[in-house]
Amino acid sequence: MLNIDKQVISILEKCRNLNHLKQLQSCLITLGHSQTQFLSFKLVRFCILSLSNLDYARLIFESVYSPNVYLYTAMITAYASKPQYQNSTLVLYRDMIRRGGEEGEKPNHFIFPHVLKCCSEISETLGTKCLHTQILKLGFGGYPVVQTALIDSYMKCSSNVLIARQVFDEMSERNVFAWTAMVSGYARFGEIGNAVCLFEKMPERDVPSWNSVIAGFTQNGLFLEAISFFRRMMGVGENGNTDNEIRPNQVTVACVLSACGNLGMLHLGRWIHGYIYRNKITINSYSVNALLDMYGKCGNLKVARQVFDQTSEKSLTLWNSMINCLALHGQDENAIGVFEEMITRGGAVRPDGVTFVGLLNACTHGGLVEQGYEYFNMMTRDYNIEPEIQHYGCVVDLLGRAGRLEEAMEVINGMKIQTDEIIWGSMLNSSKVHKRMDFMEFSIQRLNEISPSNAAYGIILANTYGEVGNWDEVRRVRKFMTEQGVKKTPGCSWIEIDKHVREFYSGDKTHPEEIYKTLDSLVCCSSFQNAVVS
């Protein structure tokens, strides 16, 4: 028997396609080894790993009357790695448990992480809880690999954060994976304080653990904090030391480039771009898209276009980023040109809802009302994309800027989804530009219903009444705002000096006194110049 095992392994190493495998399988059936568990396992593994043929692997698996735990593990692991097969993972695990009750075949602890992954992505809370109960009954609740998988599965459901923390606290041995799963989960649901607190307590950190907290900051709009942690990760602190063991990877640079783009920190973005090439970090689609997005948001469209043109295999995300960058900076014709190029040369790439948001924005900035209407109709007619709130907002803004407020209201009344601040905010801005008080009052009424604590809308209305000299209405609006207790969110700006970003809020008195003296002198100079001119 040992001899045939070696022969099968030797032959498998020489197999190059499915026909070769079938010949070997036929030989084993002829020799009476079709039910040999070890040989069937080798065939299944080869079919999965070397041929990537899960369907034929399942046929081999099904031909075995009583597959053992290793055969089940091989199939479950393969299914769990493919999103389209995740239902099959749960069905196969169920069959294994049922068969195990009859014939004594039990799962091992290596199976549960794969099944838990599918539970969280398909059946969410109920599936994870049921499997957790089963894990405890089978005696695998104390295995670190299973506990880590439980934490990750629970953390994918916002209602189970406390259960995930309980599992984490009960672990006798917490490895870096368990810590990272907990930090990532907190960050995913916006509990950044808990994520950072846990991160600081980690006895050891690897690149994924740093990425989890940096990505958490970026996803929750805390871009300054993301950059601060990136600098910590690079080892750039007061002592100037650099930790050679912790180096950014593709995920790190994508997150930090996103933060740079949102803050307009072109200098740091360029440095990261150079760092990628100096350290030969593999560029994937996420990294390329992050680079393009950063340069685009920072206004360097020339380099953004170079990054785009130098990418041979352009993903839909990359096409969308290029269109949106051009639209953002008012280059409507170029944005439309990129879309036309995508249609003619994109191959299998088809536009999605994000593509049309960029196109409609480009038409809005360029005043291309009829062309924007055509793209809006094309989206549903040619690509079966149902309009979302962003698309309606773009169309309302497009019509409103052109002064066609009655048509914009018709679009709003014909919407298939509920309106929100985007829609009525667009209507309000257009009404203000064209001095249509009737539409302004109606829009603000709707906005106050949606967000009663937002003072900005009332301020806009009061200022507009002041511009036309209707001071009674100004006093009425301001009195209403005072009675409701609403306050305007202070304005904020920032500037990068010596690689540090400084934030300034309206009415802020936390900065050194010299800054305010300089500001006062600038105000005095401005007043003097105005007096001289007048």
Q: Is 524 a member of any domain? A: yes
| Domain, as residue range, for 504 | 491-534
| Matching residue, tokens 């990068």 | 496
pLDDT for residue 491 is more than 80: no
The pLDDT, as a whole number, for residue 482 is 65
| Both structure tokens of 183 | 């930090």
Asked whether residue 522 is assigned to any structural domain, the reply reads: yes
Q: Does residue 202 belong to any structural domain of this protein? A: no
Rounded CA-CA distance 283/290 in Å is: 10
The residue to which tokens 């593709």 are assigned: 250
- The Cβ-side half-sphere exposure at 282, using a 13 Å CA radius, reads 3
Q: Would 107 be classed as within a structural domain?
A: no
Task: Please give the share of the chain, as a percent, with pLDDT higher than 90.
Answer: 29
Per-chain mean pLDDT for the chain: 83
The two structure tokens encoding residue 367: 């005043």
Name the nearest CA neighbour of 338 among 354, 321, 357: 321
Q: Looking at residue 529, what is its pLDDT?
A: 53
Residue 510 included in any domain: yes
Q: What is the pLDDT of residues 219-273, one digit of tens each?
A: 999 999 999 999 999 884 344 444 446 788 889 999 999 999 999 899 999 999 9
**pLDDT value for 525:** 57
Task: Report whether pLDDT(81) > 90.
Answer: no
Taking a C-beta distance cutoff of 8 angstroms, is the pair 48, 19 a contact? no
Range in 208-212, 255-259, 474-478 the model is least confident about: 474-478
DSSP string, 56-82: HHHHHHHHSSS--HHHHHHHHHHHHTS
What's residue 225's pLDDT? 93
Q: Is residue 31 part of a domain?
A: no
Number of domains making up the chain = 1
Range of weakest confidence among 151-165, 232-246, 281-295: 232-246
Question: In angstroms, rounded to a whole number, what is the distance separating the alpha carbons of residues 443 and 278?
Answer: 53
100, pLDDT greater than 80: no
Q: What is the C-alpha to C-alpha distance for residues 203 and 149, in angstroms, rounded to an integer?
A: 20
Q: With respect to residue 422, please indicate whether it lies within any of the assigned structural domains.
A: no
Q: Do the domain assignments include residue 138?
A: no
